[in-house]
Amino acid sequence: MNRREFLQCAAIMVSGLTASQLGIALTEEQRVYLASAPNYNTTDVDYLSEEQRQILAAMCEVIIPKSDSPGAIDAGVPHFIELMAADWFSDEERGIFDAGMADIEQRIPQEYGNRFDLLPPSDQLEILEALEEDASDHPWYEFGNVQRDFISDAPFICQLKELTIWGFFTSERGSKEALRYNPMPMTFDGNIPLGPNDSSWAGGF
């Protein structure tokens, strides 16, 4: 099972809907995985160094900072991304991720005088915005099609944003506290009007 298939499983687990309701055709491997009901949030992983974990956590928190609702760290997003890098990335994706982490770990102290996680929020945001600007010509940023193509060579900043959002909204805290939680959704309705201050729905925990 590749990363895309794993993320489809995560969407099923957090939504409480069936694969057919979500328009997903499951492979046999996905069916076995879902039947075993693993909790990836508590799965042990030892891929990053402690320093890298602190850096990754700080980057995730820039993307989804804590406010009245939980932030990326509260929702366990850094652990989720480390697990993805260790167990679910292809060799190409893992190479991009490792190179991106090494760049942040080595270059930022030289340019800013300290590790990323020890910098003020304004500098952290500036660094991630610069990464995004450098990657802006990549096809990952083509949002024209609603059904996003799976892009295995997405730059590091794209991996980071995508997995931070996935990890947050498929976590228990992210889905229950940042979305409107319905533990028994029963049916899927893709045409429910949302007000200007409404969030989307989550269910299944």
Encode pLDDT of 31-49 as tens digits.
655 555 555 666 788 999 9
C-alpha 181/C-alpha 122 separation (Å) is 33
- What are the structure tokens assigned to 99, written together? 């190179």
Compute the mean pLDDT over every residue in the chain, rounded to the nearest whole number.
77
Distance between start and end Cα atoms, the chain: 23
Contacts of 61 by beta carbon, 8 Å cutoff, 6+ apart: 71, 72, 73
Q: Is 200 inside a domain boundary?
A: no
pLDDT of 1 higher than 80: no
**Host H or E run for residue 201:** strand 201-202
Is 189 within the bounds of a domain?
A: no
Handedness of CA 68, 82, 204, 161 (dihedral sign): positive
Please report the pLDDT score of residue 141 as a whole number: 76
For the record, the structure tokens of 201 come out as 């729905």
Q: Where are the alpha helices (DSSP H) in the chain?
A: 3-15, 28-36, 50-63, 77-83, 91-112, 121-135, 156-169, 172-173
Task: Report the number of distinct structural domains present in the chain.
Answer: 1
Question: Which SS3 state, helix, strand or coil, does residue 180 take?
Answer: strand
Is 199 among the domain residues? no
pLDDT at 111 over 50: yes
Q: Could you tell me the residue range of the domain that residue 118 belongs to?
A: 3-142+150-184
Residue 104 in any domain: the answer is yes
In a domain, 100, yes or no: yes
Q: Say if residue 173 is exposed, middle or buried (CB neighbours under 10 Å; 0-12, 13-18, 19+).
A: middle
pLDDT score at 171:
79
- pLDDT tens for each residue of 124-154: 999 999 999 999 888 877 765 444 556 778 8
In-domain check, residue 192: no
For residue 201, tell me if it sits in a domain: no
Measured CA to CA, the distance from residue 55 to residue 2 in angstroms comes to: 26
Most confident of 62-71, 146-155, 179-188: 62-71
In a domain, 154, yes or no: yes
